[in-house]
Amino acid sequence: MRLAFVIALVAIAAVAFGAPTTSMPGPGGGGRLWVPLDDPDLMVKWVQTPVPYPYGNGLASQRDDCYPFFAQVADDFLCDETGPILAIEWWGTYWNPGPPPPAGIFFVIEFWTDNPGPPSHPEVMVYQEECHVFTEDFDEDYQQYHYVQYFDEPFGQEADNIYWVSIYAVFCYPPQFGWCTGEPQWNDCASFYGPFFGYPEWTDAVTVWGECYDMAFVLYGPGGSPVEEKTWGSIKAFFR
């Protein structure tokens, strides 16, 4: 029975680690509305909103200590001002068989330095925090889970550096967790590390999934006023 279970899981995981499989929207796609955290002590430092359902993908980013298998996704961002990152929000999805999230789940947030490549990819991990106390809500319209975490210890970023952020869930299969893809795309594609799936080194998204994906996340620093609600187009313009 154990062998049969292992073979079944490998077969499912191999085809579903980028699930759900859908086509990306064309130039007229997207348009996800986004409202930043209502916290006057925080200021948005970076934002990529999730690609609206059903076009978005959840790319496998999960550590399973029971099976075990490990899959990790990272995405790059630019620091234009030295200072701490105090909070993060992100979006995710579940499959095999699907929601709800399992009991005991927690997340690991990591920040990495940049290897310019090409293609660029994470180089050295410079920060890691386990997230056991976070907020979670389900977006019925977009069929995605939304998460928020305030860091116990801030990540100190330095101006004019590219960093990578990685977010992965920790729990025992089933189900599987995927970090949702985001927009607008910036710089190089997201990068994937997954020895279980045949990628023992960081590998760009195009090689893994055949598409250039970025990930959905928001980074917050100290101070500032809440940002007005933005569409994908205005967010894209903000970072160009």
Counting residues of the chain whose pLDDT is more than 90, the rounded percentage is 67
- Cβ count within 10 A of residue 181: 29
pLDDT computed for residue 34 by the predictor: 79
Residue 160 in domain: yes
Range of the domain at 91: 2-21+31-238
For residues 97-113, give the mean pLDDT. 94
Residues in the chain: 240
Residue 26 in domain: no
pLDDT computed for residue 16 by the predictor: 38
pLDDT computed for residue 55 by the predictor: 57
Total number of domains in the chain: 1
Please work out, in degrees rounded to the nearest 5, the angle formed at the alpha carbon of residue 85 by the alpha carbons of 195 and 191. Answer: 25
Amino acid at 68: P
In the block, tokens 């205005």 appear at: 234
Confidence band of 227 (pLDDT split at 50, 70, 90): very low
For residues 220-232, give the mean pLDDT. 60
Amino acid at 47: V
Residue 132 in domain: yes
64-103, pLDDT tens digit by residue? 999 999 999 999 999 999 999 999 999 999 999 988 999 9
For residues 206-230, give the mean pLDDT. 81
Instruction: Name which residue leads in pLDDT, 27 or 151.
Output: 151
